[in-house]
């Protein structure tokens, strides 16, 4: 299948590599071409802008940083909508706002194409290993059309409803994700201060009810002082702010999420560590070494 992919960052690279390995033709665009070099070396084709990607692709996936980036890739002068073809499907895998997802879906009707939202969870490991959890918002027809692709890049995929509902599902995911990361940081700093052996403590947690995927992915990285991003701290901050904004619209009070947003704002904006991975939260608490 001729596929397009916009956004070859940490996670996008893993997804594209899996699509290439499955035999798909993939045309890519990224604002910085050098960041696409890995997938280009693996056989992907390059396009100079999103419009050019759309012109040669049956299905185009986008995975960029922020809602404003999503708008640029779809609505810009050389955006996806400028290069549409009949029966085309655009799949936004960016964690964005439900409102924007719904707006893009409505706009797509003017071009005889469909935009769906399919944000993912699983970080760099899930993207690399093809084990992402995919949260889908859009028509059932589009969902069924995408299942052969989801089988390549994910281990689970769920349709939650029409456009925007995938983004709502991702917000629920990120609320739990952030709480887990705060818990890991506080657990490890407590254990260290109490004089416990940290690798032994992590092994013990793995065997009990507190075991969780974030600890699997980030526990050893934290102990090794490895803060390279599998998922950027600044992007989790963005997600938490979207979640809190949506919660406000629903008259929900989410104090733990508010705390997590405050901590990641301090890490990303006050300490300028937003380009570190989410596991860098431990830096707010102290040095484990």
- Euclidean distance between CA atoms 117 and 167, whole angstroms: 7
Report the length, in residues, of the chain. 289
Active site residue 170: yes
Task: Judge contact between 119 and 133, C-beta under 8 A.
Answer: no
Alpha-carbon dihedral 69, 162, 252, 92, rounded to 10 degrees: -20
- DSSP per-residue letters across 107-171: HHGGGT-EEEE--EESHHHHHHHT-EEEEEBS-HHHHHHHHHHHHHHEEEEEE-SSTTHHHHHHH
Helices (H) and strands (E) in the chain, counts: 12, 9
Helix, strand, or coil here: 24? coil
Backbone angles phi, psi at 95, to 5 degrees: -80, 110
- Euclidean distance between CA atoms 28 and 45, whole angstroms: 6
Choosing from 170, 192, 238, 283, the catalytic residue is: 170
Which of the residues are catalytic? 170
């Amino acid at each position: 299948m001729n596929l397009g992919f916009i956004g070859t960052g940490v996670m996008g690279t893993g997804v594209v590599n899996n699509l290439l390995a499955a035999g798909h033709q993939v045309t890519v665009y990224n604002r910085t071409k050098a960041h696409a070099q890995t997938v280009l070396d693996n056989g992907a084709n390059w396009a100079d802008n999103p419009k050019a990607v759309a012109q040669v692709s049956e299905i185009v996936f986008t995975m960029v940083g922020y809602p404003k980036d999503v708008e640029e890739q779809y609505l810009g002068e050389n955006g996806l909508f400028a290069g549409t073809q009949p029966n085309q499907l655009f799949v936004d895998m960016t964690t964005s706002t439900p409102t924007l997802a719904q707006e893009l879906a409505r706009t797509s009707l003017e071009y005889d194409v469909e935009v769906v939202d399919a944000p993912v969870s699983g970080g760099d490991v899930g993207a690399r290993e093809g084990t992402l959890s995919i949260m889908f918002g859009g028509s059932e027809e589009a969902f069924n059309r995408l299942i052969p692709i989801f089988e390549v890049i994910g281990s689970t995929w769920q349709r939650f409803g029409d456009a925007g509902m995938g983004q709502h599902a991702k917000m629920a995911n990120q609320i739990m994700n952030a709480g887990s990361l705060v818990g890991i940081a506080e657990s490890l700093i407590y254990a260290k201060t109490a004089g416990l052996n940290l690798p032994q403590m992590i092994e013990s947690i793995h065997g009990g009810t507190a075991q969780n995927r974030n600890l699997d992915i980030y526990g050893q990285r934290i102990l090794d002082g490895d803060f390279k991003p599998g998922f950027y701290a600044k992007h989790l901050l963005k997600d938490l702010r979207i979640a809190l904004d949506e919660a406000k619209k629903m008259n929900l009070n989410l104090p733990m999420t508010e705390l997590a947003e405050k901590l990641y704002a301090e890490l990303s904006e006050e300490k300028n560590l937003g380009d570190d991975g989410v596991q860098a939260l431990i830096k707010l608490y102290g040095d484990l070494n």
